[in-house]
Homo-oligomer: A and B are copies of this chain.
Amino acid sequence: MAEPHFERVCLIGLGLIGSSLARALKRGGLVGEIVGTARTPETRAKALELGFIDRVEGDAAAAARDADLIILAAPVGANAALAEAIGPALKPGAIVTDVGSVKQAVIDAVAPHLPEGVHLVPAHPVAGTEESGPEAGFAELFEGRWCILTPPAGTDADAVARIKAMWRAVGSNVDEMEPRHHDMVLAITSHLPHLIAYTIVGTATELENTLQQEVIKFAAGGFRDFTRIAASDPVMWRDIFLANKDAVLEMLGRFDEDLTALQRAIRYGDGPALEDWFTRTRAVRRSIIKAGQA
């Protein structure tokens, strides 16, 4: 069994995911000390006050110095600059991991800046809420949820095993995947649904005023679920779409063809085509319930 405990953890990014992981690590006795850092002084102060980190640094390199484990938990677009900043401060044998929803882009951004002997083990906990910020985190967030590791070929096996052990210790089920494949799976299960929810809720904001107020009032019919998704962190999602452009555009293209076909069926009154499509989608729900993911 690999050791899930890390003596000194550096946490860069103190939002929903980062603060939840810090809370879970502390609750599980999985960490000696957590040194945290974040972009704004307000977030750093709030994190210290909430107590899920032991110490704060204003500078990522200072926070990462002497750390056994460095967790990148800022929006994925910040990773290249963060890796460049911390690279020279990392000690040999340190493990760098992350929590980003896109994996190939993270490897491309981070790996070139890491010195020899430092191990990169990218990870994606498939968990979250529409809340964001250090107050939004909670230690139970990862329980029963998947965490997908995407170590590049040749990654140190012990480092991978330790990150796996850590995620299992906070309650997650761990899987391993090729990074580009991960990005394609997540493009359809997560990124495209978010993009569509953001779109339709945005479309509603362009409606004339009275209509818009009624949309709020009668949101229960389906729209409400979309508004919950579309309340997710704007900067985090901006970065995800930019970092997973190819997979998102590919899946968006498929979606768009299908939507056009259904639009055409509505326009020309093709009831059988609609009913057939709506019947097939029911089966997917049943599969998800069967897989225990509902």
Interface centre among A219, A232, A248 (most CB of B within 10 A): A219
A interface secondary structure, majority: helix
Oligomer copy total: 2
Given contacts A221-B186, A223-B193, A262-B199, contact A274 B215 (CB under 8 A): no
Stretch from A9-17, A114-122, A249-257 at the B interface? A249-257
Judged by a CB distance under 8 angstroms, whether A138 is at the interface is no
Contacts of A221 in B (CB 8 A): 101, 126, 128, 186, 189-190, 193
Looking at A192, A198, A211, A281, the one whose CB has the most chain B CB atoms below 10 A away is A281
Q: Contact string, A234-255, partner B, CB cutoff 8 A, digits 1/0? A: 1101110110010011011011
Cα A258 to Cα B230 with chains together (Å): 14
Q: Measured between alpha carbons, how far is A224 from B189 in the docked complex, in Å?
A: 8
The distance in angstroms between the C-alpha atoms of A143 and B229, with both chains bound, is: 25
CB-based contact A184/B196 at 8 Å: no
Q: In whole angstroms, what is the CA distance A256 to B207 when docked?
A: 14
Count residues on chain A whose CB falls below 8 Å from chain B CBs.
Answer: 92
Name the residue among A197, A216, A278 with the largest chain B CB count within 10 angstroms. Answer: A278
A122 nearest CB across to chain B (Å):
16
Is A146 touching B217 in the complex (CB atoms < 8 A)? Answer: yes
Asked if A176 lies at the interface with its beta carbon under 8 angstroms from chain B, I say no
Alpha-carbon separation in the docked complex, A198 to B201 (Å): 17
Q: A227-B288, A237-B278, A238-B274 are in contact. List 13 more A-B contacts (CB 8 A).
A: A101-B221, A126-B220, A128-B221, A145-B220, A189-B218, A196-B200, A199-B255, A201-B281, A202-B280, A206-B258, A235-B275, A241-B274, A242-B266
17 contacts between A and B (CB under 8 A): A184-B211, A186-B218, A189-B218, A189-B219, A190-B221, A190-B223, A193-B221, A196-B259, A200-B255, A205-B280, A205-B283, A216-B284, A219-B293, A224-B293, A232-B278, A235-B275, A249-B263
